[in-house]
Amino acid sequence: MIFILNLISILIQAQKIAIIGCGIGGATLAQLLPSATVYESYYQCGGRINHVLIPGLNAVEFGATFFIKQNEYVQKQIEKRNLEIYKRDLGKLAVIKNKQIVLQKTDLDVINIVKMVYKYGLSPKRMKDITDEVLINFKSIYTFLESGQYYHNFNEFLQIIKLNDIKMNFTEFLNENEIDQQFQEEFVDAILLAIYNQKDVNTIAGLISMVAAFNDAYSIKGGNRQLIDEEKINVIHSKVDIIHRLKNGKYKIFNDQYDYVVVASLVNLDISFDNIREMNQFQYVKYQSTYVYIVAGKISQKYIGVNPEDLNTIVILDDGEVTELKQECLKCFSGWNIYKVQGRSELKLDQIFETHQIIHKKVWDAAYPQLSQNLLNTEFEYEKNFFYLNSIESLASCMEFMMIQAKNIANIIKERHNQMIHEDL
Ligand SMILES: Cc1cc2nc3c(=O)[nH]c(=O)nc-3n(C[C@H](O)[C@H](O)[C@H](O)COP(=O)(O)OP(=O)(O)OC[C@H]3O[C@@H](n4cnc5c(N)ncnc54)[C@H](O)[C@@H]3O)c2cc1C
């Protein structure tokens, strides 16, 4: 009888959880906390993971594209959902600066190494050693989170992955580690611009980008959005305009009250917060816009300086602007080649292509935060039981980081919930 009474009391007091946003962060959290309600303004989940389907081709991603095999949470979801992955061929890369090829990397590793050592000395090897060490240390976060523990702020997170004493910007870090200046300008900058569309970044984002550059990249056949199991998530497709903190400590969204709220989207002027410490400040964080075009066409050899069909990735650096062209396939679309083209603003495709047709265009106004901003000391719990999941993006923005942050918040909520049940019993 006592047991039944307790059970009833637990059921009555069942904690209500709201998640705002059904991108990879919100969706991962919802999969870990199945009773949560997710509010999503778009008609489908995925957020910054999305693709177009072109007959006969793998899904062409116009948001998050790559992951590496060491991304354990992405891998876990792939295995759980029985998804198939494929390796992205990034081998043949050219960096073009002021119409001159400054770096051309072929598929043949031995030739690459000899060429790179000749040009940049030991810097590429030193950089690779640093990224290997980052990957080894990063593994500790999985052991930590899988044992049910959680970090309270990002300093603790950085301590676990042994990057806590790095507070400087990436250029300072590279100089301190004696990375050759020319290697920084021709290789590191090209990678940073290709990944984050910006080169003045913090050291964490810089190192994460270098890890990606020195390891094989993969995507999921049929689209990375399958990392999200939408059928298992309780989604309401509505845009949340305001979240109120009430006197009883609960949070009001539309007409419902919640014990926990997790904002799992970048905060901009679209959403406001009533009586929630500092959250409105995030509306003034600067974001990097990114223009993505999926194009069928023929790149101008005159413009590039070499046969573009011999290259998988072309990065054009011109007066602080960057254009990145990724070859998706050759002669696959009624005899045309397909490219993904990315830049910071509207691109002059007529100059780059001899002939072209835009298949899809997406403007991400807020692709990532501007990573030069010093936001390293940010917390992510701004009021008791109110979490801003995406504040981790001030360190670096990638699918794996969002999944790690989701797992961490799930551990916190589960522990508080268990404590409450214990107190209740
Ligand atoms: C062009 C581009 C390329 C990228 N490439 C890579 C890559 O190769 N590899 C990688 O790992 N990462 C990459 N990223 C980064 C990666 O996409 C993000 O880090 C990650 O997808 C963010 O997931 P999220 O769930 O935190 O946020 P989001 O994906 O932004 O999801 C937030 C969701 O919240 C919803 N929403 C927003 N406001 C409200 C509201 N008021 N009410 C209700 N719903 C709301 C949105 O509609 C959205 O669905 C890339 C990003 C971009 C833009």
Atom 20 (ligand 1) nearest CA = 399
Whether the CA torsion 162, 168, 169, 175 is positive or negative: it is negative
Residues 294 and 364 in one domain: yes
Question: Are 301 and 345 in a shared domain?
Answer: yes
Q: Which of 105-114, 127-136, 208-217 is predicted least confidently?
A: 105-114
Tell me if 133 is assigned to some domain.
no
Q: Using a 6 Å cutoff on CB, does residue 199 contact ligand 1?
A: no
Question: What CATH number corresponds to the domain at position 31?
Answer: 3.50.50.60
Closest atom, ligand 1, to C-alpha of 66: 8
Residues 241 and 350 occupy one common structural domain: no
Give the confidence band of 5 by pLDDT, cuts at 50, 70, 90.
very low
Is the minimum distance from the CB of 66 to ligand 1 under 6 angstroms? yes
The C-alpha atoms of residue 202 and residue 65 are separated, in whole angstroms, by 22
Whether the per-residue pLDDT at 225 is higher than 90: the answer is yes
Q: CA 269, CA 312: separation in Å to the nearest integer?
A: 38
* pLDDT band at residue 12 under the 50/70/90 scheme: very low
pLDDT score recorded for residue 15: 85
Judgement on whether residues 236 and 385 belong to the same structural domain of the protein: yes
Task: Let me know whether 299 and 360 are in one domain.
Answer: yes
Domain closes at, from 350, 368, 386: 368
For residue 416, being part of any structural domain is answered with yes
Q: How far is the CA of 24 from the centre of ligand 1 (A)?
A: 7
- My answer on whether 310 and 364 are in the same domain is yes
Report whether pLDDT(39) > 80.
yes
Cβ of residue 48 lying under 6 Å from some atom of ligand 1: yes
Q: What is the dihedral of CA 232, 236, 240, 245, to 10 degrees?
A: -70
Q: Are 279 and 390 within one domain?
A: yes
Whether the CB of 390 sits within 6 Å of ligand 1: yes
Instruction: Return the higher-pLDDT residue of 55 and 59.
Output: 59
DSSP H or E run through 102: strand 100-105
Domain stops at, among 341, 368, 395: 368
Q: Is the CB of 380 under 6 A from ligand 1?
A: no
Q: Cα(47) to centroid of ligand 1, in Å? A: 4
Same domain, 292 and 414: no
Is the pTM above the cut of 0.85? Answer: yes
Q: Verify whether ligand 1 is closer than 6 Å to residue 218 (CB atom).
A: no
Same-domain check for residues 409 and 351: no
Average model confidence (pLDDT) across the chain: 89
Assigned domain for 211 exists: no
Ligand 1 neighbourhood includes 65 CB (under 6 angstroms): yes
Same domain, 234 and 340: no
Identify whether residues 261 and 297 lie together within a single domain: no
**Boundary of a domain, candidates 331, 349, 368:** 368
In a domain, 17, yes or no: yes
Q: Which of 90-104, 207-221, 248-262, 409-423 has the lowest mean pLDDT?
A: 90-104
- Give the pLDDT band of residue 8 (cuts 50, 70, 90): very low
Residue carrying structure tokens 């354990």: 72
Q: Kindly state if the Cβ of 239 falls inside 6 Å of ligand 1.
A: yes
Residues 6+ apart with CB under 8 A from 76: none
- 311-341 pLDDT tens trace: 888 888 877 678 999 999 888 888 889 999 9
- What's the one-letter identity of residue 191? I
CB-based contacts of 78: which residues, under 8 Å, 6+ apart?
85, 220, 227
User: Does the C-beta of 267 come closer than 6 Å to ligand 1?
Assistant: no
108: pLDDT strictly greater than 80: no
The count of domains in the chain is 2
Average pLDDT over residues 50-77: 94
Which of these, 171, 161, 116, 155, lies nearest to 137 by C-alpha position? 161
Distance 136 CA to ligand 1 centre (A): 27
**pLDDT above 70 coverage of the chain, percent:** 91
Residue 344, domain member (yes or no): yes
| Average pLDDT of the residues in 35-55 | 96
Q: Does residue 130 belong to any structural domain of this protein?
A: no
Range of the domain at 324: 89-107+288-368
Q: Determine the pLDDT at residue 101.
A: 80
For residue 311, give the nearest of 332, 294, 292, 330 by alpha carbon: 330
Ligand 1 pocket: which of 323, 397, 403 to mutate (most atoms <8 Å of CB)? 397
Whether 99 is covered by a domain: the verdict is: yes
Is residue 84 situated within a structural domain? no
User: In terms of domains, do 260 and 316 share one?
Assistant: no
260-299 pLDDT, tens digit per residue, is: 999 999 998 789 999 998 888 888 888 999 999 999 999 9
**What string of DSSP letters covers 111-123?**
HHHHHHHHHHTTH
